[in-house]
Amino acid sequence: MFDAYDIDVYLKALLHDAQAQMWDAQTRLYAINRAYDQVCNRVMQSHENYFYDEATLTAGTSVWERTEFAFPTMPTLQKILLLTDADGRRIDPIPVQKRDMSAIMVQASGSRGEGYWLGHNSIFVNANNYTGNLRLIYIRRPPLLYTGTLSAGAATTATFPTSPVPEIRDDYYNEVYLRAKSGTAAPDRAQITDYAGLTRVATVDFAVTPDNTTVVATESELPEGHNEIVAVGAAIRCLQFDVAQESKMQHLLVWYKKLEFDLIDFLEVRQEQAARSVFMRNDD
């Protein structure tokens, strides 16, 4: 079980509602993503580098006080670990003071200093007229999961439906792997290279052209074999306002805590093993 469709199937089994008569697709997807986001937070707490990534940022608009570096995957940015210029020189964050609806960089002394700050979809670097590429090392937050039947398909694109509602931010699903679970193109798997939020069109090159019968799902980025916890967490969220389901919800809570313990234990052991020194023995 490693994509949104499989998690949804398991969730419906936990709810004893295989036809989803009580919980519609949008409600189930919302519950799945709240659980997924919570589990990803726990992963980052116990093994921050699990979602480690790097990016090369290219200079965009420059004005006298700053240079803009667009960051396409900004919606998934969790924490910046290091930002350097092309020569490897570190660029540190500095505070931002808003003045006359513009962002002015200041230090404690009141003078503009060298450094960076984050905008909505960009990193802004102040001073020294940066024009070359920057190197960013960061921890990213995995995009939320999605599953649904495509509205349309073409040779290299897939149009997500209007219901359940996908994310509408441009580039949000970039680099995410998409699986065709049923219908035309199943069981293909391909990576999304671009996503237009307003039109819900993902650029993805399946071996067979998908169409409006194709059910797709994005892949979970949790460790293999640990996605069951997301389905259990989602089931708890679906049941929490139903008094008649109180006993079942309590049973699922016990199960959830056990699965969470197993996941965190797995990650901590993995992190400890990754940190060990490697010794080589010369038998000659």
pLDDT value for 45: 86
For residues 67 and 129, the answer to whether their CB atoms sit within 8 Å is yes
Q: One digit per residue, pLDDT tens: the chain, 284 residues?
A: 589 999 999 999 998 876 556 788 999 999 999 999 999 999 988 887 888 888 898 888 777 667 888 876 666 788 899 999 888 889 998 877 655 555 554 444 444 567 888 877 788 887 656 778 899 999 888 999 999 999 999 999 999 999 999 999 888 999 999 999 999 999 999 999 999 999 999 999 999 999 999 999 999 999 888 999 999 999 999 998 788 888 899 999 999 999 999 999 998 887 776 665 554 455 54
In the chain, what are the domain boundaries? 4-47+143-229, 50-140
pLDDT value for 199: 96
Rounded to whole angstroms, how far apart are CA atoms 123 and 131? 13
Burial class (CB in 10 A: 0-12, 13-18, 19+), 118: middle
pLDDT value for 47: 83
Helix (H) or strand (E) holding 152: strand 152-153
pLDDT value for 246: 87
**Amino acid at residue number 59:** A
**50-140 belongs to CATH 2.40.10:** yes
pLDDT value for 284: 46
Burial class (CB in 10 A: 0-12, 13-18, 19+), 153: buried
Rounded to whole angstroms, how far apart are CA atoms 97 and 106? 7
pLDDT value for 109: 42
pLDDT value for 94: 82
Tokens read off for 262: 């197993």
Rounded to whole angstroms, how far apart are CA atoms 232 and 146? 17
pLDDT value for 275: 60
Radius of gyration of the chain (CA): 22
pLDDT value for 108: 44
| Largest Cα–Cα separation, the chain | 73
Spatial CB neighbours of 13, under 8 Å, sequence gap ≥ 6: none
pLDDT value for 70: 80
Rounded to whole angstroms, how far apart are CA atoms 235 and 254? 13
User: What is the SS3 assignment for 5-53?
Assistant: HHHHHHHHHHCCCCCCCCCCHHHHHHHHHHHHHHHHHHHHHHCHHHHEE
